[in-house]
Structure 1
């Protein structure tokens, strides 16, 4: 088995989860950690059994031993660091959001194509075994034709300076809302034809809570709720013409139950014994793509990435939530096709 040496940019919470995942995953080694604070990098390395520590992101990217870079920094820096990895010929997985808008996301993907370097988004929901088993059940018609999807994700993140900051592309939409949105898009399999939304902002200018209602072709509907003000049920219910499916865990399904039209449970799915935490699947997919020379994974294609952030751009336009960051003039100038209600 090819052993991949992974370098992690950023030493925050998600970086720690990724390091712990890699320590348990065959075929991968958490080889290096980089932070803008060398002391923080060293402390992180000690805690997570990583021996190579850097006090700058550029040093890690330049390390010839690093074979895959995981970008786990704040939202506003993802595109810039992804470009640096591509220029250095380093494959990378970018923590969601891939970037804060579609323009900068497209720049990264174009550069990756020009340089022939893999660059993917670590939207782990798209890779998880349980989510893909659920999609198989739906394709087989276990609940008939889908009619409505209702999904929510919310946590109490009131004390997170990063998510409250408009300067770092914070807000509930890009940190939380893209999960239930992605789940709805995966389940229905088509872009919405019309959208309406309600939202509440913090005094910092970012969205704190939103409800997004979407209509799709063939009489399908979805409602997505996201919040950084408190915990929601973090579930998804899929209503079909022949029953319903309840998914517990919108970021990474932990339990899936199928119900017949009379309300009786007829099937249940649970993670396998080999399940680590769900993050392993994106690394396995990235490794396979890199080995065979693909620039994307089939689970989360460049088309998926662009569709998601084009959609969030349109939402933010109607919410008048423009980040003080490069490329945002194009978002401000967009003609909105989403209305406020």
Structure 2
């Protein structure tokens, strides 16, 4: 197969790119060339910016692909550009949506692809829902060959996933743990969450490339391992080499005492227990199995950061925000390092 990834070097997609090349796929990456260290050997890079429509059309005008995957489309306007660019030029277009689009609050604890898409709490999720609706209408009206994939919380070695964290500097979590500074877990930490390693996600995703039965379908790809947030933070602490000190704070309090937008993803996604039925991806890709437990995956992440000391940075603003939040919750800042 001849496959185009728009992006292809990000947190989720870099693992998929590696596996696609290993499986013998002729892979092209269309991106701005800013993350060359994550381009697998054997992939061909087409440099450009998909957000510049006229430029992208000119660069790609001589190409046709069996499959096109856009890893970085987030709004209906961006998706419409893809429809215009690739109609008649690909046999399958895969849109990366999000499991956060599923109904909040849920009516049933187990999420399937038939769970309604309703998220009044997070604009990111509503934009993904609008993208899905646009693509499915193009499929119904004009036969646009769309497949929708909904990742949940997927991570790789460049991430240390958590609920209230610094996305810019993930190492900040480990830094606070090793310094004995507390972290914040929302609620009582017993709600359930699903974390999927990108190498596991890749196995399911690559199996969908060129899969005729996936056209017109939506499917999520997650691990079957389900953990509480208390278990997740304990695993991060084990990987960091020190038991973490945590403060449990209600989601409402966090939202009221952090900058606007900080808690949107918490309220609109992570504060809701998420357990996924993966029957559909296993039916479409019978050999799909997630094999990396979080306790092992996060150790790989910590080890990767330690091999890249220049990236072991502390997000001071985020750390100060945590200290302020804990202080407002009634903990004396002078006793933070002793709080258990």
Q: Which TM-score bucket, shorter chain as reference?
A: 0.3 to 0.5
TM-score, normalised via structure 2 length: 0.40
Structure number having the greater strand percentage: 1
TM-score, normalised via structure 1 length: 0.40
